[in-house]
Amino acid sequence: MHEKHLMICGATGCLSSGSHLVEEALIEELEKHGIKDKYRLVMGGCPGFCEVGPIIVVYPDEVFYCRLKPKDMAELVEKHLIGGEIVERLLYKGPDVDAPARFYDTIPFYAKQKFNVLRNSGIIDPESIDEYIMRGGYRAFTRALDLDPPAICEEVKQAGLRGRGGAGFSTGLKWEFTNKAPGSKKYVVCNADEGDPGAFMDRSILEGDPHAILEGMLICGRAIGANEGYIYCRAEYPLAIKRLKLAIEKAEAYGLLGENILGYGFNFKINIKEGAGAFVCGEETALLASIEGKRGMPRPRPPFPAQSGLFGKPTTINNVETLANIPLIVREGGADDFVKVGTEGSKGTKVFALAGKIRNTGLCEVPMGITIKEIIYDVGGGIKSGREFKAVQAGGPSGGCIPNELIDLPIDYDSLNQAGAIMGSGGLVVMDERTCMVDLARYFLSFTQKESCGKCTPCREGTKRMLEILNRISEGYGEPKDLETLDSLAISIKDSSLCGLGQTCPNPVLSTIRYFRKEYEEHIDEHFCRAGVCKELFNYRIDEEKCTGCTACVKACPTDAIRGEKKEPHEIIQELCTRCGSCVEKCRQECIMITPLGSEADVSN
């Protein structure tokens, strides 16, 4: 038996902050004291709080250590593991807590979260099937084996689960369609082609709790009458793929996958397909084409995959997070518990990836119906650097932005749609006053334009034309009628594109025009980008009253465009300035202002 368990976050976020080095140092310290065998070290799933990584949680004490460095390990081992005393220095500290916080219940980031989908992430060893089973894993599947397949579909329907991948279609209904479709060969497909820039919850689930996905697929297979499943996973997620492969091997060894599972005469096998890098493959018909070894291009629906999907057979396609919810619903009494959380039309929880100019970046799982304000200020800890909150982009390149005025909007499928955004996969990118909304729209459109597969004309040509207009506006050549043209192009693309990519890609443009029209007009009429992003449309100027003459900006400037004596106010030579922003990063007095071209006025406030 181990005295304590130490869970080290081994997800991509913490690895990038050096958690593998922390692990090495920890092992070294334990070996030095000859006590390595007394502790169980797990490079496990993600506790979500990437901002303060690398993270170690010590069980059973439930102590959450964060922002760790390899050199902290000596103290952690000597003081906590040997001495039994908590190392206060390494606990969570922040502007949102009065005293160093010990664990989930006292850290504000976790206070409003509810763990359904992330129930095991960071708690179990993702490479151990036994730990998954000990936490109640595969119990829902064994229950499903005793149920009639239509009864399983009915339970999922009753739970009100809606697809977590984007459109929010009823999962139970989808299963029912496939169950009723004629044919003896059917497929379950797990869409793990998480392509939305700014969303990484599916990867975190796959890396932290792979068996939950296998269990979800097995239950789905039982419900729709399929005996084969595919997981289509991005090749950019090597750790997720490795853990899935391992999970499949273990499940096969335990007789939970394969022939005649647990003696019920039910056969099921799962294959993994690695994607090859095409955003459009997140669209279900394109994804199926890709599994079949073709170019990943969508096709018109109907027929829907439930009638004619993979290799022409009835197929259910569910997203990773959707499948991770299934074991919770199908277990004894699960559906009744599930509906207790959420709103009328959106049940359960949703995992969001918080990123951008927010203090607490990371993953959070919150009940549906929580307001944007609660997510940003309570969970997210507010805006980094204390600037003003401007908007949040929900749903990635297919979604839209939600401005400050709508900050009390509850997050569920229907309210987001009404506001011109979508739930999408759940990326929330927070923006402050230094984010230019024209540039944001241009960024998303350049992404979708590149990723458009080119099959249908509205998407292929329309996005290109829209992008040209946006490029022009951000370079200072916008024309008054541009907004009208953008609007009409956007509407035709939405109405006439073949697949979800084209139908949703104008959303970022439409929603930024809807909520930030003034900013577009400023770009077009006054040639001014007040956020200081569109390089042709502003000047940096030094506020002489605030400048202390510290020369930090002079040293940072790559083009020697800043002049001034030490302790005297500096000046920027506009002819030499390339507006690279290096000086702004270095200036501690915040005295570098964003001003309109050719003007001396201070408009940075």
Partner 1 sequence: MSIAIETEEAVTEEIDLSKVDALIEPYIGKKEMIIPALQKVQDHFGYLPRSAVEQVSKRMRTPLSRLYGVATFYAQFKMKPRGRYIIRVCKGTACHIQGSPKIAERIEDILGLESGETTDDLRFTLEEVACIGACALAPVIMINDDPHGRLTPDKIKDILDSYQ
Nearest CB to partner 1, comparing residues 54 and 369: 54
Question: CA 384, CA 223: separation in Å to the nearest integer?
Answer: 47
For residue 501, give the DSSP letter. H
Residues in contact with partner 1, total (CB under 8 A)? 58
Cα(528)–Cα(475) distance, integer angstroms: 10
Q: Nearest distance from residue 107's CB to partner 1, in Å?
A: 16
Which residues fall within 8 angstroms of residue 280, CB to CB, at 6 or more apart? 286, 296, 297, 298, 451, 452, 453, 499, 501
How many angstroms separate the CA atoms of 473 and 330, rounded? 52
Among 83, 183, 255, 277, binds partner 1 (CB under 8 A): 277
Both structure tokens of 352: 């969001």
For partner 1, give the closer residue by CB, 198 or 314: 198
Tokens 């956007």 sit on residue: 490
Answer yes or no whether residue 274 interacts with partner 1 by CB under 8 A: yes
Q: Which of residues 408-427 bind partner 1 (CB under 8 A)?
A: 427
Q: Which is nearer to partner 1, 89 or 450 (CB)?
A: 450
Q: State residue 565 phi and psi, 5-degree precision.
A: -80, 160
Name the one range near partner 1 by CB under 8 A: 413-421, 439-447, 466-474, 596-604. 439-447
Helix, strand or coil, per DSSP, at residue 365: strand
Binding flag, residue 100, partner 1 (CB under 8 A): no
Q: Which stretch binds partner 1 (CB under 8 A): 98-106, 405-413, 435-443, 569-577?
A: 435-443
The packing angle between helices 201-208 and 210-224, to 10°, is 100
Written in H, E and C, the secondary structure of 380-449 is CCCEHHHCCEEEEEECHHHCEEEEHHHCCCECCHHHHHHCCCCCCCCEEEEEECCCCHHHHHHHHHHHHH
Q: Is the CA virtual torsion 307, 308, 313, 319 positive or negative?
A: negative
- 511, two tokens: 């929603």
CA 30 to chain centre: 35
CB 197 within 8 A of CB 241: no
CB of 462 to partner 1, least distance (A): 20
Considering only residues 552-581, where is the footprint of partner 1 by CB under 8 A?
A: 556, 580-581
Residue 290 engages partner 1 in binding (rule: CB under 8 A): yes
Least Å distance, CB 533 to partner 1, is: 9
145 sits near partner 1 (criterion: CB under 8 A): no
Among 199, 205, 505, 513, binds partner 1 (CB under 8 A): 199
- The tokens 């800043």 sit on which residue? 562
Contacts of 570 (CB under 8 A, 6+ apart): 542, 547, 549, 551, 553, 554, 562, 563, 564
57 binds partner 1 per the rule CB under 8 A: no
Between the CA of residue 184 and those of 217, 225, 315, 449, 499, what are the distances in Å? Answer: 18, 8, 12, 40, 29
Interacting residues with partner 1 between 507 and 536 (CB under 8 A): none
Find the DSSP H helices in 316-368: 320-330, 334-338
Out of 189, 291, 330, 406, the only residue in the binding site for partner 1 (CB under 8 A) is: 291
**In whole angstroms, how close is the CB of 255 to partner 1 at the nearest point?**
25
Instruction: Give residue 548's Cα distance to chain centre.
Output: 41
Which residue lies nearer to partner 1 by CB, 378 or 451?
A: 451
Q: Which is nearer to partner 1, 94 or 149 (CB)?
A: 94
Binding mask 158-197 for partner 1 (x = CB under 8 A): ------------------------------------xxxx
Answer whether 354's CB lies under 8 Å from 379's CB: yes
92 binds partner 1 (CB under 8 A): no
* Span near partner 1 by CB under 8 A; candidates 46-54, 97-105, 243-251, 461-469: 46-54
Q: What is the rounded CA–CA span in Å between residue 437 and residue 429?
A: 13
- Footprint on residues 349-408 left by partner 1 (CB under 8 A): 353, 355-357, 361-362, 393, 396
50 part of the interface to partner 1, by CB under 8 A: yes
Asked if residue 138 binds partner 1 (CB under 8 A), the reply is no
Q: How far is the CB of 77 from partner 1 (least distance, A)?
A: 27
* Exposure letters 158-189 (e unless 16+ CB within 10 A, then b): ebbbbbbbbbbeebbebbbbbbebeeeebbbb
Q: Does 453 bind partner 1 (CB under 8 A)?
A: yes
Q: Is 502 in the site for partner 1 (CB under 8 A)?
A: no
Binding mask 295-334 toward partner 1 (x if CB under 8 A, else -) reads xxx-------------x-----------------------
550 binds partner 1 (CB under 8 A): no
CA 473/CA 467 separation, integer angstroms: 10
Closest distance to partner 1 from the beta carbon of 355 (Å): 4
For the CB of residue 349, give the shortest distance to partner 1 in the complex, in Å: 20
Taking the complex as a whole, the smallest distance from the CB of residue 431 to partner 1 amounts, in Å, to: 6
Q: How far is CA 187 from CA 101, 190, 209, 231, 418, in A?
A: 47, 10, 22, 11, 34
The nearer residue to partner 1, 100 or 197, going by C-beta atoms, is 197
Which listed range, 180-188, 234-242, 406-414, 469-477, lies at the site for partner 1 (CB under 8 A)?
234-242
Least distance to partner 1 from the beta carbon of 557, Å? 11
Residue with Cβ nearer partner 1 (264 or 311)? 311
Q: What is the dihedral sign for C-alpha 232, 236, 242, 243?
A: negative
Residues found in the chain: 605
Q: How far is the CB of 164 from partner 1 (least distance, A)?
A: 17
Give least dist CB 336 to partner 1, A. Answer: 35
Q: Is 444 in the site for partner 1 (CB under 8 A)?
A: yes
Distance in Å, CB of 100 to partner 1, minimum: 21
Residue closer to partner 1, measured from CB, 330 or 401: 401
Both ends of the chain: CA-CA distance in Å? 61
* SS3 at position 233: strand
440 binds partner 1 (CB under 8 A): yes
HSE toward the beta carbon, residue 603, CA cutoff 13 A: 18
**Residues near partner 1 (CB under 8 A):** 12-13, 15-17, 50-51, 53, 194-200, 203, 235-237, 273-279, 290-297, 311, 353, 355-357, 361-362, 393, 396, 427, 429, 431, 435, 440, 443-444, 447, 451, 453, 556, 580-582, 585
